[in-house]
Amino acid sequence: MLTPRPAASRLPTPYLFKAKRSARLWVTSIALLALAGCASQAPVDESGRQAGQWERQQADVEAFDTWTMAGKAGLRTPDESTSANLDWNQHPHYFRMLISGPFGGGRSVLEGREGRFSLTTSDGRFEAETPEALMEEQLGWSLPVSAMPDWVRGLPGDHASYQMETDELGYPNFLQQDGWEIDYRDWEQVEGMWLPRRLVMNYGDVRITLVVNQWRPTNS
């Protein structure tokens, strides 16, 4: 004798509707939370820089006034194109810049301390009232040395008015000061700060490209 099986229990239709609706709401909530998490993250570029970092670190960059920088400078004018290696030691009241290579005339040392500037080359030691005049007289070209300690860190000098533009992350992108136009092309992280790695400076038909190979802090 066959015993009839009990019919499979079935949930009421309203209950099934509520369960499906709850599941959809749960999935939708998770998706919205994920999107919100992505939206709350600061934009990041391929080098790792994030939006808002420059504003937070600017005081640290301003305090970073004793350093050594090794790099290469390229000079281009309508008449020539040349380059030189730079080994630059900067203190608040003193700097020493070793210039070696073609437009350094072999090896030249530019120094400045408390308003006195000297340039030592194979032809001797020379002095002038400004480092720019000294370089122009002895080398035939000049870097904007007086303002560069600020510019190479991504800062405007406090000696004159300026115009500054920033990129989509808030980092300096373009600076105009003293007739020079500075484009910041690349950055690197040094001692927990982002500093320029490549910048291009233009003054009329003079173009100087500076590529930094190494930043390092030095003792005061």
Query: Is 33 among the domain residues?
Result: no
CA distances from 139 to 28, 95, 108, 124, 186 (A): 69, 19, 9, 13, 29
pLDDT of residue 26: 52
Residue 101's CATH number: 2.50.20.10
pLDDT of residue 220: 58
Mean pLDDT of each 10-residue bin along the chain, 220 residues long: 46 48 51 47 76 96 97 92 94 95 80 93 92 89 92 95 97 98 97 96 96 89
Instruction: Give the type of residue at 195.
Output: L
Query: Is 34 among the domain residues?
Result: no
Query: Is 220 among the domain residues?
Result: no
Query: Is 15 among the domain residues?
Result: no
pLDDT of residue 36: 47
pTM: 0.78
The torsion region of residue 138 among left (phi > 0), alpha (psi -120 to 50) and beta comes to: alpha
| Residue 110 structural domain | 53-214
Query: Is 158 among the domain residues?
Result: yes
Euclidean distance between CA atoms 210 and 188, whole angstroms: 14
| Tokens encoding 41 | 């993250």
Query: Is 2 among the domain residues?
Result: no
| Tokens encoding 38 | 């992505």
Residue 134: count other Cβ atoms within 10 Å of its Cβ. Answer: 21
User: For 39, phi and psi rounded to 5 degrees?
Assistant: -65, -30
Query: Is 110 among the domain residues?
Result: yes
Query: Is 85 among the domain residues?
Result: yes
Q: How many domains does the chain have?
A: 1
Dihedral sign, CA of 62, 210, 100, 111? negative
pLDDT of residue 42: 59
